[in-house]
Chain A
Amino acid sequence: MTATGTAALEIDGLRKSFGSLEVLRGIDLTVAEHEVVCLIGASGSGKSTLLRCVNLLEPIDAGRIVVEGVDITGHGVDVDRVRRRIGIVFQAFNLFPHMSVLGNVTLAPRKVLGQSRTDAERDADVLLERFGLADKRHDFPDRLSGGQQQRVAIVRALAMRPDLLLLDEVTSALDPELVAEVLDVIRELAQSGMTMLIATHEMGFARDIASRIAFLDAGLVLEEGPPAEILTEPREPRTRQFLQRVIQAGRL
């Protein structure tokens, strides 16, 4: 049912509150190497917070996050070192507006990994070529379409050669006709064996690409399993209710 091998990511009893609001109430989730896990659920169910916690962008209140056998939530962990191995792509792209595409992609390899500009640009060009952005290398983000910006953001994350890629509703800020080009990029990554944890509202895409789907509801993984199982015959009434609404909205 799932890919075998060591777990790339293991989350145990993860809890996170913002003030009195408990957003994550004890999340347990495992992602095996080369596996693609999609997180679905209503807005506010905790998908984004979960991803931000995994990337240590939010401090957690309780629980454990283990990446490739190393507890990254323990004391004395070098968070910068952890983040190098985990890439994240945001809903709003978050490209650096004062840098060209090439500048965006090569910043971290140069400043964090200490690569020379020539090496970093050569690697960047390979990635940009692969994702159809070769002719945009000198453009600034505000000259690009949303789809192109999001593809650059994905390339920027990949340039650090992460072991794990987190995608946070990466198509939600895009015009409908630009969604496909970004989803194609993610499909290609999945085929190439990239381990990914994806928060998404695109159910059709999740069905095609996911090894497993996890349904989040009010800060808990209510149900998880292969796409066929979760999307067609969910056990939980809450999952059924959610999918019913998605179908009514014409998104499955």
Chain B
Amino acid sequence: MALSGGGPHESRALADLAAQGRPRLVHDRRSSRRELVRSVVIAVASSVVFFGVLGWIIVNSSGWPEVRQAFLDERIFWSSLPATLAGFVTNIQLFAIAEVLILVLGLLLAVMRSLPGPAFFPLRFLATLYVDVFRALPGVLVIFMLGFGIPGLAIAGLPVDPFPYAVLTLTLLYSAYVSEVYRAGIESVHPSQEAAARSLGLNRFQALRYVIVPQAIRRVIPPLLNDFIGLQKDTVLVSFLGVVEIFRTAQITNAATFNFTPYLDVALVFIVITIPLARLTDWLVERERRGRASGGLR
């Protein structure tokens, strides 16, 4: 959106936010100033009314004292925090290992699907089938079926510990999504780049490896980060396999105290971890957008 000169950006952005949903008309500067003040006043007033009423309804509901005691117990909040954080270390391990594997497997699948020509049909078919299947299945289902199914085979040498199965199932699930992100990136690189690479004598694979994929990865970093945020949160799903991670830890504390406040600890940990990552993603998207706007012919 182009800002039409004049007026500090913040107040303009605030006015936009406050005035959103109204038809935008062409107007001169004086009336736009008056409109700005009016919009801000209305936005503040309606917010006070809305949140005031909502709060009043909650606090005056018949179940409020019980809910406050069960979910918002300050003493339990602080006492369960160390165990919760200790449990989160496992989530970080899950996330860190799975993420690396996902980036590799996802790229592999995307490249397999991008190979042209009839000779590569089997690879394309396999990759497409994989992505279709794992994107279709609910995550919990995959975690249950593979996480219990594979060790259930009792093949000698397979680990008994649930952790490797947790990593495996998360990797299988997220690789399907991530490969689609990569593929969109590969397809966004203009065909003239491949033409230039091939015209120099690079073969198909070399053109992908040195010219297309490096550019594609740069473009998909923001959407990839978005998937990382999803993965970070979905690490709690493997608690069903018996991995003692943050959610499982909270469940244990909950069982011991008959209080749900430990889940609030978990919620806050994820908020604290995720919001900076979300801002980083926004910043990268913005930088990419500006880079492209000024970059000219690409």
Contact = CB atoms under 8 A, between A and B. Distances in A.
Interface of A: 52, 55, 57, 80-81, 83-84, 86-88, 90, 92-98, 107-108, 111-112, 142, 156-157, 160, 173
B278 to A, nearest CB: 26
Contacts of A83: 198-201
Contacts of B200: 83-84, 87, 107-108, 112, 156-157, 160
B218 A96 contact: no
Given A92-B297, A94-B193, A107-B200, 4 more contacts: A57-B195, A90-B196, A107-B197, A112-B202
Interface of B: 192-193, 195-203, 206, 210-211, 214-215, 218, 295-298
Contacts of A86: 199
13 contacts: A80-B202, A80-B203, A86-B199, A90-B192, A90-B196, A96-B211, A96-B215, A97-B298, A107-B197, A107-B202, A107-B210, A107-B211, A160-B200
Contact of A112 (B206, B211, B214, B295): B206
Given A55-B199, A83-B201, A157-B200, A142 B206 contact: no
A203 to B, nearest CB: 25
Given A111-B210, A142-B295, A96 B199 contact: no
Nearest to B217: A98
Contacts of A97: 215, 295, 298
A95 B190 CA distance: 12
Task: Across the A-B interface, give the 8 residue pairs with the lowest CB-CB distance, nearest first.
Answer: A108-B200, A84-B201, A94-B196, A112-B201, A83-B201, A88-B199, A94-B192, A80-B203
B202 A93 contact: no
Given A111-B210, A173-B297, A94 B195 contact: yes
A94 B193 CA distance: 6
B81 to A, nearest CB: 45
A80 B218 CA distance: 27
Contacts of B296: 142
B11 to A, nearest CB: 34
Contact of B297 (A57, A93, A107): A93
Residue of A80, A86, A92, A157 most packed against chain B (CB within 10 A): A80
Contacts of B201: 80-81, 83-84, 108, 112, 160
A88 B199 CA distance: 7
Contacts of B192: 90, 92, 94
Nearest to A108: B200
B195 to A, nearest CB: 5
B190 to A, nearest CB: 8
Contacts of B203: 80
Nearest to A103: B210
Nearest to B196: A94
A38 B130 CA distance: 51
A112 B200 CA distance: 8
B297 A90 contact: no
A162 to B, nearest CB: 9
A90 B195 contact: yes
Q: Among B210, B296, B297, which residue has the most Cβ atoms of chain A within 10 A?
A: B297
Contacts of B298: 97
Nearest to A88: B199
Max chain B Cβ within 10 angstroms of own Cβ: one of A93, A94, A95, A96? A94
A94 B212 CA distance: 12
A26 B210 CA distance: 37
Contacts of A93: 297
**Listed residue (B198, B200, B297) with the most chain A CB atoms within 10 angstroms of its CB:** B200
Contacts of A52: 195
A173 B202 CA distance: 25
A47 B218 CA distance: 35
